[in-house]
């Protein structure tokens, strides 16, 4: 546990750079303990619970224009790390990413989403957007001491998330491929199945299990994104992820491979559920056991896959 600081009367010095260049200059001159802040919704809970000490310096990222907004850049939908979750939910581009859109809407209450940023949700290492970003093969753009760096979300999580990076690295933006093989080069807005283009069928869903129906931390989150080739009835692409709570999200590659070995049909649902329970690595805490989380993830993915094939 960190030494108590919140409410002690000590006031941190808040820096507000207005460009990435100014941010770099501030980082080079800071001495003593410091940390980045975005919406600070998670930081506040950590300070109040005395899980993290209030740093001597806070570097606010809210005034850096390069880190906000949602645009199309080439073959990617790019979301600035400082974009508020409320803005993500309202964006037509994010609404085309049905899995990510559902994930954003499942986070906390509207008042929190007004402040919280997608970058903060990701950088926490345990945010509910991470399973969605994993199945979309998203990439993260970091500003490091050596320049800009692009890193797949999958690789970042395998490296231990934020613990695997320098404390000075700052998340600038999220890059999500548009998958140009689709007609129009963008994701359809409907969850479950879509007939576009004609030779493919899309299956996509996101589900979150919490301790109550809404406005709660997750116990388990799962996401699946796949495309079925209608000519041979097999999965042409499949991506499955699970996470939730304080555990790191992960791609379930063995479960993906299981689906690829047979015809894409409802009969795969119980096999998928069993494989997910065997593969998903999670944890036990005061709210749920590891076995419960494994079983919940398997049941949710199996049930949603079965539902996707119903008339």
Q: Would you state the pLDDT for residue 167?
A: 76
Mean predicted lDDT score pLDDT of the chain? 86
pLDDT digits (tens, 9 = 90+) for 226-245: 999 999 999 999 999 999 98
- Confirm whether 69-177 and 191-308 share one CATH topology: no
Q: Please state, in angstroms and rounded to a whole number, the distance separating the CA atoms of residues 214 and 297.
A: 18
Mean pLDDT of 13-22: 88
Confidence of residue 183 (pLDDT cuts 50, 70, 90): very low
Nearest by Cα to 187 from 225, 217, 220, 160: 225
CATH superfamily, domain at 191-308: CO dehydrogenase flavoprotein, C-terminal domain (3.30.390.50)
pLDDT above 70: residue 246: yes
Q: Would you state the pLDDT for residue 200?
A: 92
Angle at CA of residue 133, ends 218 and 251, nearest 5°: 80
pLDDT digits (tens, 9 = 90+) for 67-96: 999 999 999 999 999 999 999 999 999 999
Higher pLDDT, 9 or 255: 255
The DSSP output letter for 174 is: E
pTM: 0.85
Structural tokens at position 175: 């890059």
Q: Would you state the pLDDT for residue 53?
A: 67
Nearest by Cα to 95 from 126, 128, 70: 70
Confidence of residue 27 (pLDDT cuts 50, 70, 90): confident
Angle at CA of residue 248, ends 171 and 264, nearest 5°: 105
Confidence of residue 189 (pLDDT cuts 50, 70, 90): very low
Q: Would you state the pLDDT for residue 188?
A: 36
**What is the CATH topology of the domain spanning 69-177?**
3.30.465
Q: Would you state the pLDDT for residue 46?
A: 61
Nearest by Cα to 115 from 123, 107, 127: 107
70 touches 94 (CB < 8 A): yes
Structural tokens at position 208: 């979150």
- 178 phi and psi angles, rounded to 5 deg: -85, -15
Q: Would you state the pLDDT for residue 124?
A: 85
Domain spans, the chain = 13-60, 69-177, 191-308
Mean pLDDT of 27-37: 74
64 touches 18 (CB < 8 A): yes
Q: Please state, in angstroms and rounded to a whole number, the distance separating the CA atoms of residues 213 and 192.
A: 21
281 touches 245 (CB < 8 A): no
pLDDT digits (tens, 9 = 90+) for 249-293: 999 999 999 999 999 999 999 999 999 999 999 999 999 999 999
């Amino acid at each position: 546990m960190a030494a108590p600081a919140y409410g002690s009367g000590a006031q941190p010095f808040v820096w507000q750079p207005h460009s990435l260049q100014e941010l770099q200059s501030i980082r080079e001159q800071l001495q003593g303990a410091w940390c980045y802040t975005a919406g600070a919704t998670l930081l506040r809970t950590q300070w109040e619970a005395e899980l993290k000490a209030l740093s001597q310096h806070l570097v606010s990222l809210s005034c850096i224009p390069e880190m906000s907004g949602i645009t199309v850049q080439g073959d990617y939908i790019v979301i600035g790390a400082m974009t508020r979750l409320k803005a993500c939910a309202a964006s037509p581009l994010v609404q085309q990413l049905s899995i990510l859109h559902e994930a954003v809407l499942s986070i906390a209450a509207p008042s929190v989403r007004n402040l919280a940023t997608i970058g903060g949700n990701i950088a926490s290492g345990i945010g509910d957007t991470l399973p969605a970003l994993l199945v979309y093969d998203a990439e993260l753009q970091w500003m490091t001491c050596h320049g800009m760096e692009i890193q797949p979300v999958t690789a970042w999580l395998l490296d231990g998330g934020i613990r695997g990076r320098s404390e000075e690295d700052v998340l600038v933006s999220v890059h999500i491929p548009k998958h140009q093989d689709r007609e129009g080069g963008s994701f359809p807005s409907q969850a479950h199945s879509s007939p576009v283009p004609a030779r493919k069928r899309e299956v996509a869903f996101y589900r979150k299990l919490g301790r109550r129906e809404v406005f709660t931390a997750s116990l388990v989150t799962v996401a699946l994104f796949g495309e079925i080739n209608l000519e041979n009835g097999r999965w042409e692409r499949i991506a499955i992820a699970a996470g939730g709570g304080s555990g790191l999200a992960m791609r379930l590659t063995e479960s993906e491979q299981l689906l690829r070995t047979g015809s894409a049909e409802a009969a795969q649902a119980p096999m998928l559920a069993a494989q997910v329970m065997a593969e998903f690595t999670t944890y036990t805490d005061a709210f749920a056991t590891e076995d419960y989380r494994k079983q919940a993830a398997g049941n949710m993915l199996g049930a949603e896959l079965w539902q996707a094939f119903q008339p």
